[in-house]
């Protein structure tokens, strides 16, 4: 099944940009939240959490 | 607050599953199917990933768990940030020198190979560009970063992600067994996984499955340095892609190269380096480092279950024809050539 034979659904250009940009924005947010969560866990270990 | 609450049920499911795998499934396999444990590397990490696939494709991803399962990528990244505490800068420098040379070569060769193949097979330039980026660097994240630049449609992006994850799935299952059969050392296997496997999260899954050094985590450490090195190439490749797109008079989303590099920089690596800096200045004692390592492994286990749950066989089945041929060719080229390079240059 080739992609040429299966045209993707028609989406306007601005919507495509919006979709891809929102995906990338969520990756960036994910990175920042991951750093914050790691910082919380590190502080917890520093104040005495043992796993 | 509402978003946080939406994550909790799915997160609870992932945590419960991880506990189940660690406390019951792995010990059972160790006793009753030692061959599977030794050759197929069915340890807790591999089982977490496989269990996730079963949950996601057989139990059809419960709606109430969807948001929590989505957050598993973030939990994997949290594990990678914490992982920074296991290294010293000296160690990163030592492994980094080798990884830089190998990754530089393989990223560019794979990238241009896919662009060339796309031209030969007459596949749309937008799809080719996105797939070249994904196969060249780190899979899904690179594809998401490249899609707006190439003006790829959501459906094309989904095709590329399906191809990368589909081939990666085969790699996850086969790499540890091949590594064991040909007797690769931890260093060699880490280098091979970090260079040859298309998607970052799958590099982690494979390295954790192969890991024999449960205390030092040497395979995981080497593979992640290789993986991080290639992730660092993302802004560079995006820049090349911008020139590629503009040279063919296609619409480029943004052409400000400095802005492009800053925008595409993978921020979580800064967290990883901060952790390495803390370890290098002696911020943690041995007990604290052991706890950080355990927390990291739990993050990986939970994240891998989520990764498995997000592996959608329905979407992978839809990929086919030329894009699949391009992805499989690039993946095989990378896998075989990097194995040869590892055997020749990593001792």
Residue range B290-309, pLDDT digits in tens: 999 999 999 999 999 998 88
In this prediction, residue B28 has a pLDDT band, given cuts at 50, 70 and 90, of: very high
Residues 7-36 of A with CB under 8 A from B: 8-9, 11, 13, 16-17, 19-21, 23-24, 27-28, 30-35
**pLDDT category, B38, cuts 50, 70, 90?**
confident
Q: Which of A13-22, B31-40, B197-206 has the highest mean pLDDT?
A: B197-206
Chain B contacts of A23, Cβ < 8 Å?
144, 147, 157
Q: Is A46 on the interface with B (CB under 8 A)?
A: yes
Reported as a single tens digit per residue, the pLDDT across B97-113 is 889 999 999 999 999 99
Tell me what pLDDT residue B255 has.
55
Interatomic CA distance for residues B142 and B131, integer angstroms:
9
Determine whether the interchain pair B291/A45 forms a contact, defined as Cβ–Cβ distance below 8 Å.
yes
Residue written as tokens 């009753």? B32
Token pair 């709606």: residue = B63
Closest by CA to B109, choosing from B40, B201, B183, B196, is B196
Give the integer Cα–Cα distance in Å for A15 and B87.
43
pLDDT at position B180 is 94
Mutation target to probe the B interface, by most B beta carbons within 10 A, among A2, A3, A29 is A3
Integer Cα distance of B286 and B66 in angstroms = 38
Q: Read off φ and ψ for residue B291, nearest 5 degrees.
A: -65, -40
Contact A21 B148 (CB under 8 A): yes
Q: What b/e sequence results for B172-193 when a residue is b if at least 16 CB atoms lie within 10 Å of its CB, and e otherwise?
A: bbebbeebbeeebbbbbbbbbb
| CB B133 within 8 Å of CB B238 | yes
Q: Is the pLDDT score of A4 beyond 70?
A: no
Q: Which residue of A has its CA nearest to B283?
A: A46
- Average pLDDT value for residue range B214-218: 82
CA distance B322 to chain A (A): 6
Q: Provide ipTM, 2 decimals.
A: 0.81
Average pLDDT score over chain B: 88
Chain B, window 103-162: residues with a beta carbon less than 8 angstroms from a chain A beta carbon: 123-124, 127, 141, 144-145, 147-148, 151-157, 159
Tokens describing residue A12: 């306007």
- What predicted TM-score, i.e. pTM, was given to this entire model? 0.82
Instruction: List the structure tokens of B84.
Output: 């920074």
What pLDDT digit, counting tens, does each position of A5-21 carry? 444 444 445 555 565 56
pLDDT at A11: 43
Residues of A in contact with B145 (CB under 8 A): 24, 27
Distance CA B113, CA B250 (A): 20
Question: Cβ separation of B275 and A24 shorter than 8 Å?
Answer: no
- Residue in B123, B153, B320 closest to A1 by CB: B320
Q: What is the pLDDT of residues B69-105, one digit of tens each?
A: 988 889 999 999 999 998 888 888 888 888 999 999 9
* Tens-place pLDDT, residues B235-272: 888 888 888 777 665 454 445 667 777 777 888 889 99
């Amino acid at each position: 099944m080739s992609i040429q034979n299966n045209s993707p659904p028609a989406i306007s250009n601005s919507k495509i940009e919006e979709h891809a940009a929102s995906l990338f924005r969520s990756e960036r947010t994910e990175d920042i939240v991951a750093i914050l969560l790691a910082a919380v866990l590190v502080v917890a270990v520093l104040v005495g959490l043992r796993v | 607050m509402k978003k946080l609450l939406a994550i909790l049920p799915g997160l609870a499911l992932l945590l419960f599953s991880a506990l189940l795998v660690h406390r019951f499934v792995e010990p059972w396999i160790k006793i009753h199917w030692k061959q599977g444990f030794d050759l197929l590397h069915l340890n807790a990490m591999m089982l977490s990933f496989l269990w996730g696939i079963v949950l996601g494709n057989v139990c059809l991803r419960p709606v109430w768990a969807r948001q929590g399962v989505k957050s598993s990528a973030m939990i994997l990244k949290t594990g990678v940030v914490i992982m920074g505490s296991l290294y010293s800068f000296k160690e990163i420098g030592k492994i980094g020198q080798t990884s830089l040379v190998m990754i530089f070569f393989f990223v560019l060769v794979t990238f241009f190979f896919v662009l060339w193949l796309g031209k030969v097979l007459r596949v749309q330039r937008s799809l080719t560009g996105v797939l070249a980026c994904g196969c060249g660097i780190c899979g899904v994240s690179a594809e998401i970063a490249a899609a707006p630049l190439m003006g790829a449609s959501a459906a094309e992006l989904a095709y590329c992600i399906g191809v990368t994850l589909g081939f990666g799935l085969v790699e996850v299952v086969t790499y540890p067994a091949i590594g064991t059969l040909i007797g690769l050392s931890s260093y060699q296997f880490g280098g091979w996984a970090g260079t040859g496997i298309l998607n970052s999260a799958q590099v982690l899954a494979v390295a954790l499955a192969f890991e024999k050094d449960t205390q030092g985590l040497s395979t995981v450490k080497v593979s992640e340095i290789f993986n991080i090195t290639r992730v660092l190439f993302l802004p560079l490749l995006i820049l090349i892609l911008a020139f590629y797109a503009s040279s063919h008079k296609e619409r480029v989303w943004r052409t400000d190269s400095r802005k492009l590099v800053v925008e595409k920089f993978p921020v979580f690596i800064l967290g990883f380096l901060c952790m390495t800096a803390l370890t290098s200045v002696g911020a943690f004692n041995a007990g604290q480092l052991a706890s950080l390592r355990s927390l990291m492994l739990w993050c990986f286990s939970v994240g891998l279950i989520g990764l498995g749950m997000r592996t959608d066989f329905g979407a992978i089945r839809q990929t086919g024809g030329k894009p699949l041929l391009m992805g499989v060719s690039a993946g095989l080229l990378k896998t075989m050539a990097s194995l040869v390079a590892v055997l020749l240059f990593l001792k």
